[in-house]
A and B are shown apart, each in its own frame.
Chain A
Amino acid sequence: NAGVTQTPKFQVLKTGQSMTLQCAQDMNHEYMSWYRQDPGMGLRLIHYSVGAGITDQGEVPNGYNVSRSTTEDFPLRLLSAAPSQTSVYFCASSYKGKGSPLHFGNGTRLTVT
């Protein structure tokens, strides 16, 4: 199993550009989520999904969209990039939510200029 795979590893955007961060897992996990990590701070939840076709907002959802058309994939879309979205983004999945630990990808480092 590859686990949780994120692409790209690095990305530079100009303000106002849009892009999609890809996330795929091959563990048949129901629960998937996106976090952002900023220096000196813990991980903050952006959006999450408890199954295909179901998504919900986390702590910091503004400026991001998600969809979950399949169990395996959970892309994160930046609609109009802003410098405040410069961060490292992590996708994570778990089998059933609480009681089963999150498995993280290795992150996408995004810089918005």
Chain B
Amino acid sequence: GESVGLHLPTLSVQEGDNSIINCAYSNSASDYFIWYKQESGKGPQFIIDIRSNMDKRQGQRVTVLLNKTVKHLSLQIAATQPGDSAVYFCAEATDSWGKLQFGAGTQVVVTP
């Protein structure tokens, strides 16, 4: 079946630098995408979402970019902080009730 995947399993980032986490999706029918952050021992926490009628959406220190031509999604974190160390998941929804299909996740490690 079609799936959501991530290019890099681990991303090491120096504190203060910008982080970019990438995600490829293969289902062209997907029209809603979400990024989640998961800290150790906790449930995934919503970061930001984007609909397929948008190319870019910004939140606090985060920006999600959607390129439907190449089926690519990215999450940019500005001025990465130690508290940003976590696993980040992208997810896509393809039906009216939003059953999410998740990627495997990227571990972000922020180094001092």
Contact = CB atoms under 8 A, between A and B. Distances in A.
Interface of A: 4, 31, 33, 35, 40-45, 48, 50, 58, 90, 92, 94, 97-107
Contacts of A31: 97-98
B97 A102 contact: no
A42 B46 contact: no
Interface of B: 4, 32, 34, 36, 41-46, 49, 51, 89, 91, 93, 95-105
A42 B45 contact: no
Contacts of B102: 35, 42-44
A104 B44 CA distance: 6
Contacts of B89: 42-43
22 contacts: A35-B102, A42-B91, A42-B103, A42-B104, A43-B91, A43-B100, A43-B102, A44-B102, A45-B100, A50-B97, A90-B44, A97-B97, A98-B32, A98-B93, A98-B95, A98-B98, A99-B32, A100-B98, A101-B34, A101-B49, A106-B41, A106-B42
A99 B51 contact: yes
Contact of B98 (A40, A90, A94): A94
Nearest to B1: A59
B21 to A, nearest CB: 14
Contacts of A101: 34, 46, 49
Nearest to A94: B98
A106 B43 CA distance: 4
A52 B21 CA distance: 37
A48 B99 contact: yes
B96 A97 contact: yes
